């Protein structure tokens, strides 16, 4: 799955984009170094930032909603333990 427009710019106003840009970069870094999976990162960004329905994201990732919700939940718990969560 590839988005033509960067995820962070699709639905955020410029002010929120400026505030969120660093946090989104830190989330991407967390996926890059293996703290969370790229699939979990995509689920978090698409459902929490872009407000896409979980069922649509799950279908795109060929997963059940329950499995994707659990994967997102585990990833969010790991992220809460990091300094970026504050």
pLDDT, one tens digit per residue, over 8-52 is 444 445 554 555 677 888 888 888 899 999 999 999 999 988 899
For 60, other C-beta atoms within 10 Å of its C-beta total 14
> Would the pLDDT of 83 be above 80?
no
Which comes out higher in pLDDT, residue 63 or 11?
Answer: 63
Residue 85 has a pLDDT of: 52
**CA 19 to CA 9: how far, in whole Å?**
12
Sign of CA dihedral 67, 72, 78, 80: negative
Helix (H, G, I), strand (E, B), or coil: what is residue 32?
helix
Q: Whole-structure pTM over 0.75, yes or no?
A: no
Query: By C-alpha distance, which of 7, 15, 18, 14 is closest to 52?
Result: 7
Let me know: does 27 contact 45? Beta carbons within 8 Å. Answer: yes
pLDDT score for 25: 82
Count of CB atoms situated within 10 Å of the CB of 41? 21
Enumerate the H helices of the chain as residue ranges.
Answer: 14-32, 38-44, 54-60, 65-80
């Amino acid at each position: 799955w590839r988005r033509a427009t960067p995820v962070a710019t699709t639905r955020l106003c410029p002010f929120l984009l400026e505030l969120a840009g660093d946090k989104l970069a830190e989330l991407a870094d967390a996926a890059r170094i293996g703290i969370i999976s790229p699939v979990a990162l995509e689920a978090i960004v698409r459902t929490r930032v872009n407000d896409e329905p979980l069922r649509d994201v799950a279908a795109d990732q060929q997963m059940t909603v329950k499995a994707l919700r659990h994967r997102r939940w585990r990833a969010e718990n790991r992220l809460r333990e990091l300094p970026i969560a504050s």
